Structure 1
Amino acid sequence: MTAAALAGPGAGLSRAAGPAAPPPPDPARQEAALTMARRILLTDADHRDLTLDYLKLLTGRQRLRPGAAREVLVVGAGVAGMVCARLLVAAGHRVRVLEANRSRVGGRVKTFRGDLWQDPRLHAEAGAMRIPSSHVLTLALADHLSVPRRPFHLVDVPPSPDLASGDARVVYRSWTGEEFSTGSAPAYTAPKGLGGRLVHVNGQTVSKAAYAADPRPVNKSFGWDSGQTAAAAFDRALDTARAYTMVRNGDGSWSDKPIDQRVTGMAQLLYDLDGYSLLRYLQESEGWSDAQVQAVGTLENLTSRLSYGFLHSVFDASDINPAVTYFEFSAGTDALTEALAKDLPIERGRVVTRVRFDDGGVTVTAEPETGPEDEGCEGAIGGDRCEYRADAVVLAVPYAALRHVDFAPLLPYGKRRAIAEIKHDTAHKVLVEFTERWWEWDESTWRAKLGADYRPAPHGDAVPAVGGGCVSDEASRFVYFPSHPSDDGAPGGIVLAAYNWAEDALRFDSLTPADRHTEALDHLAGLFGERIRRYATDRHVSQSWLRNRWALGEAVIETPGQLLSLGPHVPAPVADRLFFAGDHCQPRYHAWIAGAIASGVEAAVQLTGG
């Protein structure tokens, strides 16, 4: 396929914008669309399956192309940097990793554990917490590193100890006909949700099961008189986008088109819709009213990102929905990053401030870190500078961080624009510890526990369950419960009492940590009753990724137009000396561990020539 094969803008939209003829094709935009389509689908001009290639590299079944050993600096000991470093070390290169954070590795993989909690057996995730079963790069790498996993339940399920296992082999069937597998364990099938978690909007509180059975009362509270669930409405709205790369089957399901048609379709989708925000797409392409946008946006966690590029929501919809099977790492997500870090030469507390490159190599200047990574940030970089010389450097840090690095000579203009302009979103979590796992109790257990102090739950009898979460239109927005009955025999557990993104997260970012805890616990008590307070400890933690001095945000979520105008420049190497990695470099998997892994492998392949 050539870029010139693409039609003009709007060719695939379901609703015509008017009788005016479309503008003539834009060759530069067509080329960018084709480039980004291949990146999203992890393929190349020859339609090779790069996911399959990366799986083999990550699990040692294939090696990087041999060549002369190079001195390589990797800046950033997050997932992307450490994946890249491990592959380069295995290929015989001399590698050193510089990490700004002096206390830990892992980047936005961060597990709160130990003395932070009253019960040190507990742990909870500040960052990455779930892995969709379709993210085979993450699961295969974890299996290769012997990092155990178990199911993560996006919906509430009975608190059965039988659900504590769930390791399943990774199976990937390529469009080439080849199959990759990590073993012979049976596939894991997630149980059906109970529907007992709550929906709290516009002063109404109902269970998710009740909403699914009769959505109209809740929908009408927004002014949207519909008997369709918000999830079903949004899923149907994505059919216009799906039709570019998939075909609808007779039973209503969708199947991928052949890879050449998928690349063509994805490029056309990008050409047509990269300039659309989610709000514009829903209103102009799908004809949604403001009331429907608000109803579906509130219930499906879309309102805070309505102004962002539409295509991120297309990709996220296949990763975050109740029909998807998920896993978590049994000992915490940082078990993966600790396994990656093992035996790597990592220097922590090294903040890169300057990068100079020429025909002879690269010189990197780093300064010591002082102070914490979050909140107070009373520390500052400074002190004795270190200089490192290398043949090549892999910059595996967020582009927001590169804004504070001095490059000489100047980076290419497109790269500088991407560093300065690409949108970094934010996310916020508030985690609260409880001495007992009250979410696993029915009303009879509550009566036995409280005795004369017993009061009924405010919104119906308690449904014993693990996993799943509640949705609310209040500031906390989303609540998630632990997916398993216990951690190492601990009687209590940690609830993600507030989880929000984008504008919703900014409202929490501005509060003090104590105020965040108060608001999140008040919201939880409003949903489940004041009786839960007696089991809350004084331990709580909040994580603002925007206020983390090394992350500078949660992840890249492009605004309309950025995927094509900036996207091709993000991963591009410079002068065969500077290479780039991080989930921001992989447009299909922004904000996911899989994106960091794929970009780390890609950077290693670029550096070694294959």
Structure 2
Amino acid sequence: MLALSTFYPDNLYKQICEVTVLSRNINRRQFIKSVLLTSGAVALASKVGVKNAHALGNVSVIVVGAGIAGLGAAHMLRKHGAKVTVLEAKDHTGGRLLTDWSMGAPFEVGAGWIHGPSSDNPSKQLADAVNAQYVVTDDENAVYFDLDGYEYDDDEVERIVDAWEGVLDHIDRTYEVNDHRSLLQAIKDYRPAYLEDPGIMWAFSAFTEFSKGGSIEKLSAPLFNWDEAFDGADVVVTSGYDEILKPLKEGLDIKLSHVVTSIDYSADEGVSITTDQGTFEADYCICTVPLGVLKANKISFEPELPGDYRQSIENLGFGSVTKLALKFEEPFWDIETQYFGITTEPKGRWNYWLSYRTFSDENILLGLSVGDYALKADQMSDAEMVEDALAVLRTVWEDDVTKPIDVLATHWSTDPYTLGAYSFPRPGNRKSDFDDLGEPVADRLFLAGEHTIFDYAGTTHGAYMTGLRAAEYIIDEEG
């Protein structure tokens, strides 16, 4: 097993961002190449960790949230000698990274894929460190069906994908970054007939709304596709995605079921954090709660966060993706096919399905609702959700669809400690609305999480990188 110190150089985040900027200047649509290796971060990390093991011996930090951002920050600070306490509202660690094994195969309640699993991807590095097992999900191994349940032929699939890609290319070529149009408006302006084409609308939903966590009505046309990605075909972690968190948690003081209600940073030095189980004081606070919690003002800040922070929190998009795992006694679908795309109405309704039989022995279909329909699905009971999803499956497999023997479902937008899945850029947003949220407040309060980094918003590696960034600010301040 690799030493975990390999992943915690003091200047990791700065080096990643410098290489990212260079990459975008070359071609912002290309995947980043050799981010960590180019910076030399991996080679230097273990030496830095040993040298600074006690540099923060007199420093105390409260980390709010035990997701990958919070755990990454806490682990790095503890390695440097700080006294760290992690406060988590839920009764488990992981936040939006949690694996459920009750069906006999990993159901990822939150993050489900490592996106761009190259050796440069920090999440992939963490997964490699725990000897994780992977299976590549092959986007080409897919069958698509129309509204009536008939399979699209190859020519029709090509037409749909070409139309989808054509809109993306048109936006890239012609839109300025400050254009306030939504993606829906961009489609309407470019090819209005596309809005009446069920197949093309399916592509924008199943591909784009799923990827970004928001509906095309709410996505910024110039910004939704401006972010960065690591190289490589996406993988699922068949040994359980949340295993990557175990080394990060080791030795940490994590207090579960502690709901933070206020963060007071009004004193000249230090912070005071109030929970439903008492008050905690420290020199610094790193707040990694999801954007939805900030939007709902679940935590009060004293003094209020600066106006530009509050404006960004209000303006950024925060959507949902609803997952439904259905386990059957026997498969009624082609077990060699990995993905099934089903054109549905309304848009976003259980329109993409992943077959577990392509990487496990369990007869599980994982259905996805995305865009605005995910918000509707989250409001359903599990029983209502199952009936809704089975109705979609029956348009294709008719009476062959049997009653599931086990069910698991997510409801991210109604979870009081998340209130959504991940962030996205809305019309009128700027990249800085994300990135500036990660800047220190009064040099002792820091926000972190996937919503504080534009280039990697909505990803585990993005969230993790922001945790390291916040920790690095403290290390630099005390250094």
TM-score over 0.5 for the alignment?
yes
Answer whether contact 1:111 1:124 (CA < 8 A) is retained: yes
Q: TM-score, with normalisation over the residues of structure 1?
A: 0.64
The correspondence of residues 297-446 of structure 1 with structure 2, limited to 5 A, is: 297-301=201-205, 302=208, 304-315=215-226, 325-357=233-265, 358-367=267-276, 385-402=277-294, 403-439=297-333
1:30 alignment counterpart: none
Deviation by residue 1:224-247 (Cα, 9 ceiling, x = unmatched): xxxx52222332333355569xxx
Partner of 1:56: 42
Q: 1:478 aligns with which of 328, 332, 352?
A: 352
Question: Conserved in 2, the CA contact under 8 Å of 1:149 and 1:327?
Answer: no
1:230 to 142, 153, 160: 160
RMSD: 3.3
Amino acid corresponding to residue 493 of structure 1 in structure 2:
N
In 2: Cα distance, 1:279 partner to 1:58 partner: 46
1:585/1:527 CA distance change after superposition, 3 Å: same
Deviates more, 1:397-406 or 1:430-439: 430-439
Q: In 2, Cα distance between the equivalents of 1:288 and 1:64?
A: 58
Is the 1:198–1:527 contact (alpha carbons within 8 Å) kept by the matching residues of 2? no
Matched, 1:111 2:99: yes
User: 1:40 Cα shift?
Assistant: 10
2:60 pairs with 1:130? no
CA distance in 2, matches of 1:393, 1:39: 26
The 8 Å contact of residues 264 and 303 in structure 2, kept in 1 or not, is answered as yes
1:100 aligns with one of 67, 89, 94: 89
The answer for unaligned runs of 5 or more in structure 1 is 1-37, 156-192, 219-227, 245-268, 368-384, 440-462
| 1:505 aligns to 2:379 (yes or no) | no
Task: Assess if the C-alpha contact under 8 Å between 1:237 and 1:282 holds in 2.
Answer: yes
Q: 1:505: Cα distance to partner?
A: 0.8
CA shift for structure 1 position 386: 1.1
Counterpart mapping for 1:253-272 below 5 A: 272=177
1:282 corresponds to 2:187 = yes
Deviations along 1:59-85, one digit per CA (max 9) or x if unpaired, are 746449944431011110001111111
Match of 1:602 in 2: 469
Question: Displacement, 1:526?
Answer: 2.9
Contact 2:68 2:95 in 1 (8 A): yes
What residue identity is the alignment partner of 1:435?
Answer: E
Distance 1:281 1:494, change over 3 A: same
* Percent identical: 23
Structure 1 residue 563: deviation in Å? 2.3
Partner of 2:364: 494
The one-letter amino acid paired with 1:151 is V
- AA aligned to 2:268 is D
CA contact (8 A) 1:435 1:492 kept: no
1:141 equivalenced with 2:71 (yes/no): no
Deviations 1:21-65 (A, max 9, x none): xxxxxxxxxxxxxxxxx6993679xx9x97555963997464499
How far apart, in 2, do the equivalents of 1:339 and 1:306 lie? Answer: 40
1:272-297 CA-to-partner distances (Å, cap 9, x unmatched) read 3452311233344xx22233574423
Q: 2:402 is paired with a residue of what secondary structure?
A: helix
| TM score, norm. by length of structure 2 | 0.81
* Deviation by residue 1:473-520 (Cα, 9 ceiling, x = unmatched): 14322211126442xxxx533211x31222121231232211111121
Partner of 2:372, secondary structure, is helix
Aligned to 1:589: 456
Measure how far apart 1:587 and its partner are: 0.9
Q: Distance in 1 between matches of 2:394 and 2:256?
A: 41
Given residue 566 of structure 1, which amino acid in structure 2 is its aligned partner? D
Distance 2:114 2:394 in 1: 29
**2:64–2:286 Cα contact (<8 Å) kept:** yes
Q: Are 2:451 and 2:458, in contact at CA under 8 Å, matched by a contact in 1?
A: yes
> Per the alignment, do residues 338 and 350 of structure 1 end up closer, same or farther by CA in structure 2, a change over 3 Å counting?
same
Structure 2 contact 335–358 (Cα < 8 Å) conserved: no
1:291 to 194, 206, 218: 194
Q: Paired residue for 1:573, among 425, 435, 440? A: 440
Amino acid at match of 2:312: A
Matched, 1:519 2:388: yes
Q: Alpha carbons of 1:106 and 1:43: their partners in 2 closer, same or farther (altered >3 Å)?
A: farther
Whole-Å separation in 2 of the counterparts to 1:528 and 1:433: 16
Corresponding residue SS for 1:305: coil
CA contact (8 A) 2:379 2:414 kept: no
Q: Is the 8 A contact 2:330 2:363 kept in 1?
A: yes
The 8 Å contact of residues 282 and 293 in structure 1, kept in 2 or not, is answered as: no
Q: Is the 8 A contact 1:74 1:395 kept in 2?
A: yes
Runs of 5+ unmatched residues, structure 2: 1-16, 27-33, 210-214
State the one-letter code of the partner of 1:206.
E
Alignment partner, residue 74 of structure 1: 63
* Residues 371-399 of structure 1: CA deviation (Å, up to 9, x unaligned): xxxxxxxxxxxxxx311111101101113
Tell me the distance in 1 between the aligned counterparts of 2:255 and 2:21.
32
Counterpart CA distance in 2 for 1:229 and 1:58 is 49
Contact 1:147–1:329 (CA under 8 A) maintained in structure 2: no
Say whether the 8 Å CA contact 1:39–1:586 is kept in structure 2: no
- 2:394 and 2:441 mapped to 1: Cα distance? 54
| Corresponding residue SS for 2:151 | strand
Aligned partner (choices 150, 174, 177) of residue 205 of structure 1 = 150
Distance in 2 between residues matched to 1:61 and 1:467, nearest whole Å: 44
- Matched-pair contact (CA < 8 Å) for 1:74–1:97: yes
SS in structure 1 at match of 2:461: helix
Q: CA deviation at 1:309?
A: 1.0
User: In the alignment, is the contact (CA less than 8 A) between 1:151 and 1:327 conserved in 2?
Assistant: yes
Partner of 2:155 in structure 1?
Answer: 214
What is the CA-CA distance between 1:326 and the residue it aligns to? 1.5
Are residues 299 and 239 of structure 1, via their aligned partners in 2, closer, same or farther at CA, if it must alter by over 3 Å? closer
Match of 1:41 in 2: 20
In 2, Cα distance between the equivalents of 1:51 and 1:272?
28
Give the aligned residue type for 2:338: G
Letter in 1 for 2:271: V
Q: Does 1:85 align with 2:84?
A: no
More helix by share: 2
Larger CA Rg, structure 1 vs 2: 1
SS at match of 1:296: helix
What is the number of residues matched between the two proteins? 434
SS in 2 for 1:589: coil
For the residues of structure 1 that align with 2:331 and 2:240, how far apart are their CA atoms? 19
Counterpart CA distance in 1 for 2:330 and 2:377 is 27
Measure, in 2, the Cα distance between the counterparts of 1:89 and 1:506. Answer: 38
